[in-house]
Structure 1
């Protein structure tokens, strides 16, 4: 059996957005008890990550790390059609990934105690983002 659902969310600009509950709800709504959950963000300047969910300082530290790794306005980048954060956002997405695959057991995602699913917005301005959740199994 296959179930597919698209999540739509507005971001406030650069930062992380917890999708854990929405992904778990999609798995529950699928009726699938055992299988895989694939989560895919349909954008080139936002990514997905499985990350620490207890201490928000972890996500803030990751943001500071990325700011050092791919700084806005870096003269290295030619592509700046949408501003100085355009190419750094693409670099961040390539480095962190546009999809996640999670195991499903007992009708729920199998996550560790301190794991959460996050959309990571890499642009400084607010955006509308679409995330497709596909659940395969029985």
Structure 2
């Protein structure tokens, strides 16, 4: 059902509805966050796209939604959720060289550090991200060199 909603362009409305539910009741927050992050991981991987023609657009919109939901998780102090999902998201984001993926990776690492999400390799992932960021800037912008 979620795949169909994605292809019909209803994902944004569905996620907005879940955010309203989340903000109105703390009792269901764990279920909502688990479902949303699981769906976003599938969207961002492109697993939901039935054709390659719209896969790029679905992945990009998934990455935009991910950026927003990382902020929502930060506001709600979802340490356990981020501890569970940050590694799969980082692995998925490493496959993309898009600007929106870089932003999502930055937001995710920033929130994990801010909320003290201590896991094996988090510091190393931050170092790798910083190195890649500097490499990208140096190689693409001659004025900054």
Instruction: State the TM-score, normalized to the length of structure 1.
Output: 0.24
RCO greater where, 1 or 2, for CA within 8 Å and sep 6 or more? Answer: 1
Q: Give 1 or 2: higher strand fraction.
A: 1
Q: Give 1 or 2: higher helix fraction.
A: 2
